[in-house]
A and B are shown apart, each in its own frame.
Chain A
Amino acid sequence: MTTTAPRGAGTAAPGRGTGDSGRAAIAARTLRTDRWWVQPLITAVALVAFVVYATFRAFQNAYYFAEPYISPFYSPCLSTRCEGDTFPELFTGPTWISPAIYILVFPLGIRLTCYYYRKAYYRSFWLSPPACAVAEPHRGYSGETRFPLVFQNVHRYFLYAALVINVVLFYDAVLAFRDETGAWGHMGLGTLVLLVNAVLLFLYSLSCHSCRHIVGGRLNHFSRHPVRYRFWTFVSRLNARHMQYAWVSMFSVALADLYVFLLAADVIVDVRFF
């Protein structure tokens, strides 16, 4: 016989059976025998690595432009202090503020409030829960009903901003078909990198749950709105892969930035296709 808890010794710990509630007295936090901690661990490591790299690059304020390529972390580059001229410069900011700071709140915002990333970081960082049927360590839980998590509901506004940035990143990719002198008809590996990154980021935005709702999910009568129903069907197909797009686009934006970084720092030279 294996004893997990003596009779009548139900604990008050979360999810472990309570004497008062009449639950089965099982003291173990979980009886799962698989390696349930691997997935949240990998997620945490990947997200921390990205945040560290992105923070370093955003504050570096250098090596983000290598004609004709601009790093996606710095685009749209709104300040007159920007290197290059890929986007209209709207204002002059202090020299000590990196141009990336002005715009990174939008991509950061859409990912922080994204329904997929919420699952990822609630599990990996807040351990709420770390995995299914594994008790979380917190005594109380109010979910997204109170400040600050009630602000997760602004997700759709970050989506709107992200779609505008997606258009700018496509514009950057088109400009990357010029050469260093501004003449059209150039294509290098950097052009391909920026183009693939723009496509992946666009797929991530389009596959968003809020996008799915806005294009047609809010309707109850699809038959009265056949065009919106088609949009909804299309976005629903993308939405099924939202998690994959979230990860792939996160890696692609970091890799695109790294490529421009290495070019600008003269570590590598661009591979020229034509």
Chain B
Amino acid sequence: MTYDATFRVWRGDASGGDLQTYTVPVNEGEVVLDVIHRLQATQAGDLAVRWNCKAGKCGSCSAEVNGRPRLMCLTRMSTFAEDETVTVTPMRTFPVIRDLVTDVSFNYAKAAQVPAFVPRPRDEDGNHRMQQVDVERSQEFRKCIECFLCQDTCHVVRDHEENKQVFAGPRFLIRLAELDMHPLDAQDRRAAAQEEFGLGYCNITKCCTEVCPEGIHLTDNGIIPLKERVVDRRYDPLTWLGSKIGRRPGR
């Protein structure tokens, strides 16, 4: 079944732009990215759009569909009424390069600031050992495809450009949590999480969790546990005292 859909697509670059309206045929079973490709092939040959796998695994086609941060390849056209106008804009948190393509280098700069994994000394036989039960918590965060939708939707940087200096964003807070929970990582990252990566800026309103296409529970399993670990170190006198008198040895 084919119908003509009305699409509004943001066209422009850093110097300005606007929403332009198109009428595009839509076939049954298609996703927004299919329609954007058809638009590019038939009406707007210079439309810039970043994409790669079309399977929700590369994280390239991040955009905002009807105002909601989404992967275009995972947004089915069947979720819209046939007479509904579909608005597609670039991610609003990052500088636009052209049309739907944004410059996400902010994220790469933050990634480079996260201290790398520091392995504990090897066992006497020269091996590293860890139990599955110890590492499986961190594995949830390894599902991240770095689409940066969580970074895009996080109001701390979305609504306050100036906070980009002091706040790393949810993607890198769960990277810190992943490393801090890792049984073989020797570095204590709690102080850095609060002081250098701006953990205290997060007010846990969970938008990052809502938009994650991988279904990672960023807030409940990553950011809040990291906040609690920071409380252990900075705000809880009993835990601090316990660590000083030897009641709380290594984690």
Shortest 10 CB-CB contacts between residues of A and residues of B: A7-B16, A22-B95, A31-B67, A32-B67, A143-B201, A132-B207, A213-B228, A145-B200, A14-B159, A223-B131
Does B181 make an interface contact (CB < 8 A)?
Answer: yes
Taking CB atoms, residues of chain A closer than 8 Å to B165 are none
B82 at the interface (CB under 8 A from A): no
User: A residues within 8 Å of B by Cβ?
Assistant: 1-10, 14-18, 20-26, 30-34, 115, 118-119, 122-123, 128-129, 132-136, 138, 140-145, 149-150, 153-156, 209-210, 212-213, 217-223, 229, 239-240
Given A2-B18, A122-B203, A220-B183: A24 and B96 interface contact (C-beta under 8 Å): yes
Determine the distance from Cα of A34 to Cα of B231 in the docked complex, in whole angstroms: 38
- List 25 interface pairs A-B (beta carbons < 8 Å), by A numbering: A4-B10, A5-B16, A6-B18, A7-B17, A14-B159, A15-B155, A21-B161, A23-B93, A24-B90, A25-B16, A25-B17, A34-B66, A122-B205, A128-B203, A136-B159, A141-B160, A141-B163, A217-B225, A219-B251, A220-B251, A221-B183, A223-B131, A223-B134, A229-B133, A240-B220
User: What CA separation (Å) do A24 and B12 show in the bound complex?
Assistant: 8
Q: Which residue of A lies closest to B138 (CB)?
A: A220
Say yes or no: A32 contacts B225, CB within 8 Å. Answer: no
How far in angstroms is the closest Cβ of chain A from B142? 16
Report B's interface with A, CB cutoff 8 A: 8, 10, 12, 14-21, 64, 66-69, 84, 87, 89-90, 92-96, 102-103, 131, 133-134, 153, 155-156, 158-161, 163, 180-183, 185, 198, 200-207, 210-211, 220, 224-225, 227-232, 234-236, 251
In the bound complex, do residue B134 and residue A220 qualify as a contact, i.e. CB atoms below 8 Å apart? yes
Q: How many angstroms from the CA of A197 to the CA of B234 in the assembled complex?
A: 35
Query: B21, B67, B134: which contacts A30 (Cβ < 8 A)?
Result: B67
* Cross-interface CB contact of A26 among B66, B89, B133, B206, cutoff 8 Å: B89
- When the two chains form their complex, are residues A33 and B8 in contact, meaning their CB atoms are under 8 A apart? no
- Set of chain B residues within 8 Å of A16, measured between Cβ atoms: 92
Inter-chain pairs besides A23-B161, A145-B200, A220-B182, 6 sampled, C-beta below 8 Å: A132-B153, A133-B207, A135-B159, A141-B156, A221-B183, A221-B251
B residues in contact with A239, CB < 8 Å: 220
Known: A1-B18, A129-B205. A33 touches B228 (CB 8 A): no
**Which chain B residues border A140 with CB–CB below 8 Å?**
160
Contact A156 B231 (CB under 8 A): yes
Q: Is the interface of B mostly helix, strand, loop or mixed?
A: mixed
Complex Cα spacing A2 to B227, Å = 44
Instruction: Report if A3-B19 is in contact (Cβ < 8 Å); known contacts: A31-B64, A32-B66, A142-B201.
Output: yes
Q: How far is the CA of A135 from the CA of B152 in the complex (A)?
A: 12
Is the beta-carbon distance between B94 and A23 smaller than 8 angstroms? yes
Q: Which residues of B contact A141 (CB under 8 A)?
A: 155-156, 159-160, 163, 201
Residue contact A145 to B201, C-beta cutoff 8 Å: yes
Known A-B contacts A23-B94, A26-B10, A220-B183; the reply to A118 vs B18 at CB < 8 A is: no
Minimum CB distance partner of A123 in chain B = B205
Among B155, B183, B220, B230, max chain A CB count under 10 A is at B155
Q: CB distance A18 to B159 under 8 Å?
A: no
Q: How far is the CA of A18 from the CA of B95 in the complex (A)?
A: 9
Would A132 and B211 be within 8 Å (CB), given that A2-B19, A8-B15, A156-B236 are in contact? yes
B17 proximity list for chain A (CB < 8 A):
5, 7, 24-25
Whether B159 and A2, one on each chain, are in contact in the complex, defined by CB atoms closer than 8 angstroms, is no
CB distance from B230 to the nearest CB of A (A): 8
Q: How far is the CA of A156 from the CA of B236 in the complex (A)?
A: 9
Q: Nearest residue in B to A120 (C-beta to C-beta)?
A: B205
Q: Kindly state the separation between the CA atoms of A153 and B227 in the bound complex, as whole angstroms.
A: 8
Q: Which residues of B contact A240 (CB under 8 A)?
A: 220
Find chain B residues with CB under 8 A from A212 CB.
225
Q: With the chains together, A1 CA to B20 CA distance in Å?
A: 5
Query: How long is the Cα–Cα vector from A5 to B21 in the complex, in angstroms?
Result: 14
A222→B160 contact, CB < 8 A: no
A9 to B15, CA, bound (A): 8
Cα–Cα distance between A153 and B233 once the two chains are bound (Å): 11
Q: Are B103 and A22 in contact (CB under 8 A)?
A: yes
Interface-centre pick from A15, A23, A25, A32 (highest chain B CB count, 10 A): A23
